[in-house]
Amino acid sequence: MEETKKFYVTTPIYYVTAQPHLGSLYSTLLADTITRWNKLQGNKTFFLTGTDEHGQKIAQAAQKAGKEPKEFIDSFIPDYKKAWKLYGIEYDCFGRTTSDSHIKGAQQLVQKIIDNGYVYRSEYSGMYCTPCETFVVDGAQLCSSCGRETAMMSEETYFFKLSSFADQLLDFYKKNPDFITPKERFNEVISFVKSELHDLSLSRTTVKWGVPFPGDIKHTIYVWVEALCIYITGVGYGDPHKAEQFNQWWPADVQVIGKDIIRFHAVYWPAMLMAAEMPLPKKLLVHGWIKVDKQKMSKSLGNVVDPLVLQKKYGAEPIRYYLLRQIPVNQDGDFSIADVEARIESDLAIDLGNLLNRMVALAHKYDLLTVKPIEIWSESSLELRDQSFTMIEDFSSHMDDYMFHLALARLWKFIHTTNAYFHGQEPWKLAKSNPTMFLEVISATCHSLRVIALLLWPVMPKKMEELLASIGLAFVLEEHTLENLQLNIWNKSFLLHKIPTLFDKPVQANKEESTVQQPVKIIKEEAYITIDDVVKVELLIGTIDACEEVVGSDKLVKMTVNLGERGLRIILAGIKKSHTPDELVGKRGVFIANLKPRKMAGHESHGMMLVAEDEDGKVQLMQAPAGVANGVRLR
Ligand code: MSP
């Protein structure tokens, strides 16, 4: 048994010039899920998020709003806290860079770097915009914020000897090949350090809204340098009474960041820590951008998605699931309402919600409220149990790699397996014919749902607590660590309660209350097929002239199908659990006639029959209309 580990997770701290949007929610959600995943493993966790409140950008925004910077910032803090609360984000520290403890800690770190001899005073030259009182990037002739002409200017500044850390950084990267996830991002960082590492300006005389530079109050600390310090000041750095707490948590185990701020976190921040002789974070998890119609969300484009509107319309936890399932963490992802609704409907309402509802409703119908432990399991249930064990392993390994979309895809495969088991056993028949087996099927389904709910807890905590409650289990973290789950021997008893639907199917998106300021495309173009695709499929009416079971397969039947002028065909179908061969002979249906022949269980199938599953999980044939002859093509 592994001993309890500490795990410290951070998000970037957000600029408070506006309310949080879907991008800030995304970074924060990743960190919350990672924290909860660690809790599930029995680790002691600390989760820091917060706000970045100094610098010219904030001062200018406040001035525009006619407010003092602090008053301006304070007005946004409740929005952040409210959004995080609605989304179930449970942080341990909401760090604010205007807090006294942060200011002291940031000054202490800079002082330490000065004391260690890595700071010198010099001139910073560049193109300067006087009205904005700021140097513009890349020596531009026009100011990027006001558009006015810039002029060459020099400013006194304190420099950090960043260039002298190139070798040490490269050595650190070499020894810590897992420092950055995903790996592709690592190469960008390495080539940057190899090619152009200049000393870093640590202070500004022109920016008044900032933390005073230690020993020279004409200067403020460069806002990025000061902001990075939140990761240490948030756990006690700079406070002599909190030294123990600081040593307990630092270094961070994972720092979640967006790809736009990688250089600050992978180069400047480690170099600053090296200069202060402090341990370096263990990992940076770098995520992509959430885009709307292939563009990064931004206020000027008017495509910013408001998390509060989404929460109101779909509920917070379905959105948590959507973001983690739909958008691979290592790539940019396109936000789409159509995808949100499809995920909620198909994955949550149908695959998971219906499974729970049907099982509980069926058990209630036959007065099975207390599900006692099963002593001897039958083969099919043992197979389901073994599949749950393999799934737990695969799921955990994807979660440990921070590949949430893969973990969830794997978990959903197991939900499909559980659905197939439940419906395949036809418990609605067993309830009357074989009560012992009925009990077993209900119990096995409950055991599977328990595994599913616990693994999904980091993603949808409240919903999964509701799910567990409906099978009579309380969610108690200490008792349900991942390890317990892996040792799980399927000996639980359950108490079944009917609960309101776990996930509602979304009602069609209402254009008037769009979640983004621009009209949202309901279906992505690439999801359409054209008429050319449709006409490729030859759908014919046919009659099953003969039918037999396929020996050795528990699903397949082999049918001889009369397709009129197109002759007789051998077609296999996985419908044995719902129909006997005798029932099928003489039935008429719809068949795909031009499907490439395929071998199944040793027999070649020359087509496919169209079927659909009913509410009880029974497979029903598509009815051929009366008066339409065999071989007639559907159009
Ligand atoms: N204040 C700095 C971070 C300082 S950390 C010491 C900052 N703030 S920010 O508010 O602009 O961005 C914070 C985070 O939100 C970044 O990780 C950024 O990548 C993320 N996102 C902002 N818009 C985003 C999307 N559209 N999609 C995903 N995340 C994006 O940078």
- Residue that wins the pLDDT comparison between 616 and 412: 412
| Choice from 11, 21, 52 to test ligand 1 binding pocket (greatest atom count within 8 A of CB) | 52
Whole-number average pLDDT of the chain: 91
* Ligand 1 nearest atom to the CA of residue 14, by list position: 10
Gap from CA of 44 to ligand 1 centroid (Å): 27
Long-range interactions of 425-432: CB distance < 8 A, separation 24+ = 425/380, 426/577, 426/617, 426/618, 427/362, 428/362, 428/616, 431/362, 431/365, 431/366, 431/368
**Pocket lining: 162 vs ligand 1, CB cutoff 6 Å:** no
For residue range 479-503, list pLDDT tens digits in order: 667 888 888 789 999 999 998 899 9
**Pocket lining: 246 vs ligand 1, CB cutoff 6 Å:** no
Residue 525 reports pLDDT greater than 60: no
**Pocket lining: 214 vs ligand 1, CB cutoff 6 Å:** no
> Mapped to the 3 state alphabet, what secondary structure does 41-103 carry?
CCCEEEEEEEEECCCHHHHHHHHHCCCCHHHHHHCCHHHHHHHHHHCCCCCCEEEECCCHHHH
Gap from CA of 23 to ligand 1 centroid (Å): 7
Q: What is the mean pLDDT of residues 368-391?
A: 96
Gap from CA of 261 to ligand 1 centroid (Å): 7
Please report the pLDDT score of residue 521 as a whole number: 32
Gap from CA of 165 to ligand 1 centroid (Å): 26
Gap from CA of 96 to ligand 1 centroid (Å): 16
**Pocket lining: 68 vs ligand 1, CB cutoff 6 Å:** no
Q: What is the mean pLDDT of residues 220-232?
A: 97
Q: What is the mean pLDDT of residues 286-307?
A: 84
| Choice from 24, 57, 329 to test ligand 1 binding pocket (greatest atom count within 8 A of CB) | 24
Neighbours of 448 (CB within 10 A): 26
**Pocket lining: 52 vs ligand 1, CB cutoff 6 Å:** yes
CA distance 233 to 246: 8
Residue whose CA lies nearest to ligand 1 atom number 15 = 24
**Pocket lining: 261 vs ligand 1, CB cutoff 6 Å:** yes
pTM score, two decimals? 0.80
| Band of pLDDT at residue 1, cut at 50, 70 and 90 | very low
**Pocket lining: 290 vs ligand 1, CB cutoff 6 Å:** yes
**Pocket lining: 27 vs ligand 1, CB cutoff 6 Å:** yes
| Band of pLDDT at residue 575, cut at 50, 70 and 90 | very high
* Ligand 1 nearest atom to the CA of residue 231, by list position: 6
**Pocket lining: 16 vs ligand 1, CB cutoff 6 Å:** no
Residue whose CA lies nearest to ligand 1 atom number 13 = 14
Most confident of 142-146, 277-281, 504-508: 277-281
Gap from CA of 258 to ligand 1 centroid (Å): 6
For residue range 311-327, list pLDDT tens digits in order: 999 999 999 999 999 99
Q: What is the mean pLDDT of residues 84-98?
A: 98
Residue 133 reports pLDDT greater than 80: no
CA distance 105 to 51: 16
Gap from CA of 12 to ligand 1 centroid (Å): 7
CA distances from 181 to 233, 254, 283, 578 (A): 25, 10, 7, 47
Residue 530 reports pLDDT greater than 90: no
The answer to whether the bond into 251 is cis (omega within 30° of 0) is yes
